[in-house]
Amino acid sequence: MLVLGIESSCDETAVAILSQNKNILSNIVSSQVSLHQQYGGVVPEVAARAHLKLMAVTLEQALNIAQIKLTDVSAIAGVIGPGLYGSLLIGSTTAKTLALALNKPFIAVNHLEAHILTPRLLYNIEFPYLALLISGGHTMFVAVEHINKYQILGTTIDDALGEAYDKTARLLGYPYPGGKHIEALSNQGEPGLFKFKSPLYNKHGCNFSFSGLKTAVAQQIHQLASTNSLLENAPHIAKAFEETILITLSHKTQVAIQQFTQQYGKLNNFIVSGGVAANLNIRNCLQKLIVSQKANFYAPSAEYCGDNAAMVAWAGLEKLTLGFSSNLNTPVKPNLRIEDNININDNNQEL
């Protein structure tokens, strides 16, 4: 069985082909980053038009690299949300059209569930597990009970972590997306020269808030710029910003583990995923914490942290194996929540 996955929720046009035995035959990501860089962030209309232009060539490339024909595909998985409306429309319509034309099942996939199920594609991880999803649009702890059974334990009340990285990078003069630049800069910085408060440290369980930190960093940067001392201090600012993030993530992860344990018993497996999970400082810090709690730590390799279609094909395969698929009239939902039902079972019943 071969599952074709399509992802187009934001600014990556991605197509992947995955076999039943977890062999990733192809995983093509056509990035639009250079198109959006001049605006400092993703412009929805520009993204939708670019998806339209890139979708067919990306699909063709994925088939060529996998050395298969479209008719060899057994099912098509496509992301229907959350994300940008126009962008989602291109990928999900492509997936549904292929399913209709090939007379094969269509499996609607939630972008967030694809991120948090990815580690199961790369490692053998049993349910239930605790997932920390950190990306450009989302920051949340999810108890992953089973496929289609997810419970949010905590989330951000304002900005996503990737957004905080991108905004800090922009203030320091780096292009979008700025996360990796801040990581590199922070590695050159000296610890302790600047200090920012860890947001919501002892409040609101394992929920996050990053907008206050963003403002504090912005004020510090403006103050340094006004005295012409920003350039030499930029690495130290990045260091202080990242140290605050590490303190916050460590503390909130401990709170989330307590919450998880109360409901599901001892934590055996912890995963971190999403674009920001490519950050080695964050991975190392969380790994130390999780190992000290006698649990297993998993993080996808960098190419599977950011948006890709292998994660969509995998979520589709997981669902299909359990008898779940979706109606072709399943609409695009820009605000889709991870708890929302988007699948039907073998008997064509909504779940």
Residues forming the site for Zn ion (CB under 5 A): 135, 307
Cβ at position 11, least distance to ligand KG4 in Å: 8
DSSP 134: E
Answer yes or no: are the C-beta atoms of 160 and 210 closer than 8 Å: yes
Q: Whole-angstrom Cα distance, residue 312 to residue 149?
A: 17
Distance CA(96)–CA(92), nearest Å, equals: 6
What order do you get walking across the sheet with 12-19 strand by strand? 24-31, 12-19, 2-7, 75-81, 106-110
CB nearer to ligand KG4: give 53 or 283.
283
The SS3 call for residue 30 is strand
Closest to Zn ion by CB, 83 or 154:
83
Q: Which residue has the tokens 């590490």?
A: 246
273's contact among ligand KG4, Zn ion, none, with CB below 5 to 8 A by partner kind, is none
Distance CA 37, CA 50 (A): 14
The binding site for ligand KG4 (CB under 6 A) comprises 10, 135-137, 162, 165-166, 177-180, 183, 274-276, 278-279, 306-307
Nearer to ligand KG4, 207 or 279 (CB): 279
Least gap, CB of 257 to ligand KG4 (angstroms): 23
Q: Which does 315 bind (CB under 5 to 8 A by kind): Zn ion, ligand KG4, none?
A: none
Q: Compute the least distance from the CB of residue 72 to ligand KG4, in Å.
A: 29
Which lies closer to Zn ion via its Cβ, residue 58 or residue 198?
Answer: 58
Among ligand KG4, Zn ion, none, the one that 178 touches (CB under a kind-dependent 5 to 8 A) is ligand KG4
Q: Which of ligand KG4, Zn ion, none binds 177 (CB below 5-8 Å, type-dependent)?
A: ligand KG4
Q: Which does 81 bind (CB under 5 to 8 A by kind): Zn ion, ligand KG4, none?
A: none
Peptide bond into 82 cis (omega under 30): yes
Angle at 336 between CA 331 and CA 339, to 5 degrees: 115
